[in-house]
Amino acid sequence: MSATARLSGALDALAARHRLRRLIPAQGLDFASNDYLGLSGAPVLTQAARDALDRGVPLGAGGSRLLRGNHAEHEALEAEAAAFFGTEAALFMGGGFQANQALFSTLPAKGDLILHDALVHASAHEGMRLGRAETRAFAHNDPGAARDVLAAWRADGGSGQVWIAVESVYSMEGDLAPLADLAALAREEDAVLVVDEAHATGVFGPHGAGLAHGLDAEVLTLHTCGKGLGLSGGLICGPKVMADTLINRARPFIFATAPAPLTAALVRAALGALQSDPSLQSAAQTRVAHAHAEARAHLGLAGLESQIVPVILGDDERTIKTAKTLQNKGFDVRGIRPPTVPRGTSRLRVSITGNVTRDDISALFQAICETQQEQP
């Protein structure tokens, strides 16, 4: 069988299981993106782009950071980000996936253990796959299970550095990690707590600095710039020695073209906006509270914790049909299926963005309720 025939057959098999992914354009009200503060098209960033271009900030870097691609805007962003997120240093990379891949494949050494929540992002798994450390998962959001898995590793002879990897806000569940308990475990075990703040940045913490801000433990955080900050890129924040190690050893940093200096300038502006305009964060929290109330009233959903509201339907086909019905009604909601989520938990991932109003939110949950009642 030819390669093209084999690939075509695999795609056909996905389609038969209602799991074939296709690119579709943005349409209707934005309940699908991660633009939680509505910054991606905000006037403050438009003006920041004009100002940056006027002062000669380049559109592209022209090379890796180590080969002339380094720019004053990158360094200014890193200094400002370290101050904003309360860390010794920050390193700017092209995206959150690349950043997770870099840190997990580079910093943990052979003989170390990466103890990770069962639901950490695919980018963390990719970094762990490329690295040399042993990896063990613990039950989602269960510090007691993490403690037990770590104890078992020690009993098996494990003696290296421990890295505890979690997300502060989980991208598909929308729930929050028990960071205080995990930080306590990290202190007890002299472990490094690695917190992916992708979906917390801008929404949670002082001025949107995230849920790990101020934790009493050795913490390394990842703040993506393509979600709450409305742009692109990723910031790894932590001890300077770790940033320097990534600069010297992380292949996704060394061999990648640097992020555009213009993007660095815009991320600086986004961080500045968070500090100067508290209404960005407070408005997001108001929208989220209203969404939780509507989800409870129309769908009976309780225990929601963030701007990510999962409406679990279970069946793949039903999920895609429901999402399509909502899109036809003017609501851009996307269906999420395995392997992104566990089998049998296909869902609508409702994202409360900065691009919708209170009335839009009410209308969406009313529409989901009606769509559920219409289906057999």
Three-state DSSP state, 95? coil
Of 34, 168, 306, 346, which residue is the catalytic one?
34
Q: Output the CA torsion 90→94→97→98 (10° steps).
A: -80
Examine the residue annotation and report whether 196 is marked as an active-site residue of this protein.
yes
Note if 207 is an active site residue: no
Over 30-84, what HEC string results?
ECCCCCCCCCCCCHHHHHHHHHHHHCCCCCCCCCCHHHHHCCHHHHHHHHHHHHH
Considering the candidates 100, 105, 171, 306, report the single residue annotated as catalytic.
Answer: 171
Active site includes 171?
yes
Catalytic residue among 116, 207, 213, 227: 227
Annotated catalytic residue: which of 74, 121, 207, 292?
121
CB neighbourhood size of 275 (10 A): 14
Q: Which of 196, 316, 332, 360 is flagged as catalytic?
A: 196
CA–CA gap between residue 129 and residue 255 (Å, rounded): 19
Residue of 117, 167, 332, 360 with catalytic role: 167
- 234 touches 225 (CB < 8 A): yes
Largest CA distance in the chain: 61
Following DSSP, what letter does each residue of 208-242 receive, concatenated?
Answer: G--TTTT-SSEEEEEEESSSTTSS--EEEEE-HHH
Active site includes 351? no
Q: Which of 71, 74, 116, 199 is catalytic?
A: 199
* Catalytic residue check, 34: yes
Q: Rounded to whole angstroms, how far apart are CA atoms 69 and 93? A: 12
30 an active-site residue?
A: no
141 labelled catalytic? no
Catalytically active residues are 34, 121, 167, 171, 196, 199, 227
